[in-house]
């Protein structure tokens, strides 16, 4: 009798669990956002996002790179990071310092520049420099073409060549009339008060370009900046913070997505993540669960043609790449 009782109890528990999972997969989950321009239609190719403007094709984060990505390689999205200058301008750069990509240290080799980057005391930080100071330098100085030649090292008119550091308003102005449909993925890198000021300046700048207001998604690794965006700029779309993204993926794997209470617009993830064991994130199930919530799924940073083809077959919404020229070739031959 005792064994029969235990078996009956386990059967009831199993039945309840099955009913629970059936119900939560039948009930439509709430939409994270009402309208999401970053989601592509079914059977449509993913959007091409030029990571750092396409740093393998042209000097990263320069107007030259942004122009080529959009005009030559068909990028629908520009992706980059934002930093606040000493005098309150938002500029595009991957690092908080500029020594890796420009000639701020004079005519030295790339290896010598890398050594400076390793020494925090020798770096030139964006937060310590005005925009005018930053604009003196050639941000294509160390860029090499496929033959290993530093083809922009000796350019004299860096402004005309698009090799100065680029500002937010400069990029918006460049494309607003000719490409009003262009989209943007940005990450606010500053934390604390500087990060809050960066949020204010970005929002204020976007007001001058109203068509872009709904075509930009903003991310951050800093909790206080995420809270700032949610509290004071709720009209701007946000990417998922790391912890929120992890929670969403977990609920996707377990089929309990209905219980997730996030409100981000874009899930930006790699194909896999190393947690001691490799966690594969290139799953159609993640994309399906995200689309149920009106969330776009964007994979980074994809520079291999086979990976590009695989993700396209999965039905993701965007592929971020340093090589938009290659992704265009994969799509269109």
Q: How confident is the model at residue 330 (pLDDT cuts 50, 70, 90)?
A: very high
Kindly report, residue by residue over 169-204, the tens digit of the pLDDT: 999 999 999 999 999 999 999 999 999 999 999 999
Q: Minimum mean pLDDT among 103-107, 126-130, 241-245: which range? A: 241-245
pTM across the whole model:
0.90
Average pLDDT over residues 298-302: 98
- List domains and CATH numbers for the chain: 44-96+166-332 (3.20.20.190)
Mean pLDDT, the chain, whole residue set: 92
Taking 60 as the threshold, does the pLDDT of residue 18 lie above it?
no
Tell me which of 91-100, 127-136, 252-261 is least confident.
252-261
pLDDT per position as a tens digit, 144-162:
999 999 999 999 999 999 9
- pLDDT tier for residue 57 given thresholds of 50, 70 and 90: very high
DSSP per residue, 252-312:
HHHT-GGG-----SEEEE-SEEESSSEEE---HHHHHHHHHTT-EEEE-----HHHHHHHH
Which tokens go with 139? 């941000």
Query: Distance (Å, rounded) from C-alpha 317 to C-alpha 324?
Result: 15
80 pLDDT higher than 50 = yes
pLDDT-derived band at 47 (thresholds 50, 70, 90) equals very high
pLDDT at 44: 97
Mean pLDDT of 239-243: 92
CA 130, 132, 138, 143 dihedral sign is positive
- At residue 13, the pLDDT reads 55
Percentage of residues of the chain with pLDDT beyond 70: 90
Q: What is the pLDDT of residues 253-297, one digit of tens each?
A: 776 666 677 899 999 999 998 877 889 999 999 999 999 999 999
Residues whose CB falls within 8 Å of the CB of residue 124, separated by 6 or more in sequence, listed in order: 97, 98, 99, 104, 105
1: confidence class by pLDDT, cuts 50, 70, 90: very low
What does the pLDDT read at residue 246?
87
The torsion angles phi and psi of 32, rounded to 5 degrees, stand at: -65, -40
Q: State the Cα–Cα distance between residues 291 and 295, nearest whole angstrom.
A: 5
pLDDT of res. 160: 98
Confidence of residue 3 (pLDDT cuts 50, 70, 90): low
Contacts by residues 13-21 (CB-CB < 8 Å, ≥ 24 positions apart): 21/255, 21/256
Residue 2 pLDDT greater than 60, yes or no = no
pLDDT band for position 7 (cuts 50, 70, 90): low
Residue-level pLDDT at 9: 59
């Amino acid at each position: 009798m005792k064994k029969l009782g235990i078996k009956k109890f386990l059967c009831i528990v199993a039945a309840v669990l099955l009913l629970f999972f059936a119900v939560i997969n039948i009930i439509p989950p709430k939409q994270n956002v009402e309208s999401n321009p970053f989601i592509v239609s079914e059977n449509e190719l993913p959007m091409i996002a030029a990571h750092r403007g396409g740093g393998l094709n042209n000097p990263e984060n320069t107007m030259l790179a942004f122009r080529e990505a959009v005009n030559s390689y068909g990028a629908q999205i520009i992706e980059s990071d934002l930093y606040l200058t000493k005098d309150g301008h938002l500029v595009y750069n991957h690092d908080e310092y500029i020594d890796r990509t420009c000639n701020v240290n004079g005519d030295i080799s790339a290896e010598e520049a890398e050594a400076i980057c390793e020494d925090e005391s020798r770096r030139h930080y964006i937060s310590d420099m005005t925009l005018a100071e930053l604009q003196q330098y050639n941000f294509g100085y160390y860029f090499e073409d496929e033959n290993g030649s530093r083809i922009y090292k000796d350019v004299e008119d860096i402004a005309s060549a698009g090799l100065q550091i680029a500002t937010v308003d400069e990029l918006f102005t460049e494309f607003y009339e000719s490409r009003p449909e262009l989209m943007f993925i940005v990450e606010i890198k500053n934390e604390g008060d500087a990060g809050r000021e960066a949020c204010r300046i970005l929002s204020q700048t976007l007001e001058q370009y109203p068509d872009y207001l709904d075509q930009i998604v903003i991310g951050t690794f800093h909790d206080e900046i995420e809270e700032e965006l949610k509290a004071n700029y709720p009209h701007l779309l946000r990417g998922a913070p790391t912890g929120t993204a992890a929670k969403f993926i977990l609920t996707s794997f377990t089929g309990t997505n209905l219980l997730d209470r996030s409100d981000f617009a874009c899930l930006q993830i790699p194909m896999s993540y190393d947690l001691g064991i490799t966690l594969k994130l290139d799953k159609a199930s993640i994309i399906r669960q995200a689309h149920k919530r009106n969330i776009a799924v964007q994979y980074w940073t994809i520079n291999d043609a086979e990976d590009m083809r695989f993700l396209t077959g999965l039905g993701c919404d965007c592929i971020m790449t340093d090589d938009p020229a290659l992704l265009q070739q994969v799509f269109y031959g």
